[in-house]
Amino acid sequence: MMYHPAPTLPLAAALSLVLAGCSPAAPDGQVLAELGGTEITRRDLAAEPRQADISTQALLERVIDRKLLVQAAHAQNLDADPEYLAAFRRSREELLVAALRRKIIRTLRKPNDAELVQLVAIRPWAFDKRELIRLSPVAGQASGLPDKTIDTAQLDAEFVKLVSRDDEPIIIDGAAYRVVARNAAALDPSAQESLARAIWLEEQINAEMVRLLNEGRSKSAVKYSQGMGPGAE
C-alpha cells in the first residue's frame, strides 16, 4: 500500500483560517451590538423609552453611549457612592411597585354596564357637570405664580368641595388661589364611557393596593423611633 500525504494549504491561506477561527464573530440575530462582552439585544432596545421620530440606529447609539458612561462611572467607583446606592434602592422599589400594579391590572375583570352607570351617577362633577376651573393666585403672594386650570373630572369628592365656592381660597402646593372662571365641559356619551372605565380601573387598583398595605402592616409591625410615627410633627 502506498502512502499519499494529505494536500497542504499555502501558508497565507492557513493563517487566514486560523485567524478567522480566533476572531469574535460579528453580532447577529437578536444581538444588535456588543460592548466589552456585554450584549445589547433587540429586547433591550424595545424596553427603551422611544420618541416617534428616532431611528433604531440612533436609539442603539444612545444605549451604547449610556453604557460607556456607566463603565466610566464604575471605573471611578461611583457604584459605591452612598447617594447612588440610596437612589438605586428607591428606583428598584418604585419599579417593583410598578410591576405589582401591572400584575393587579392583568387580574382585574372588566366592569359591567351597571357598574359604569352607577359610577357616572355618583360622580356628576366628572361627567354631566364637568367643569374647567381657572384659578389665580391670591394677591400679596410671591410674584411669578401662574394661573392654574383644573379639570373637575380629575378631582376627588373632597377637592370638588374645596372649589365649589368662588369666595374661598384654595391652597395648592403651599400657595393660595381663588376661582376666577368656570366653564362647563360636559362629556359626550363615548367619552363618558372611556372615562368611567378608567376611573373604575383606578379605584380597583387602589382598593387592592390598600388591601395589600393593610395585610403587610398586620404581618410586619412597623416600629418607629421616638418622635416619629403617625401624628408626629
- Residues of the chain with confidence (pLDDT) below 50: 1-3, 6-7, 9, 11-20, 23
Residue of 3, 65, 1 lying closest to 33 (CA atoms): 65
pLDDT in tens, 100-119: 999 999 999 999 999 999 99
Q: Which three cell numbers stand for residue 162?
A: 374645596
Helix (H) or strand (E) run with residue 32 in it: strand 31-35
Helix residue ranges, H only, 108-130: 113-122
pLDDT in tens, 136-182: 988 766 667 889 999 999 998 888 888 888 888 888 888 889 899 99
61/66 Cα distance (integer angstroms): 9
Global pTM value: 0.68
pLDDT, position 233: 64
CA distances (Å), 77 to each of 70, 73, 81, 90, 91, in order?
10, 6, 7, 20, 20
pLDDT, position 19: 46
Going from N- to C-terminal start, the domains of the chain cover 28-105, 131-185
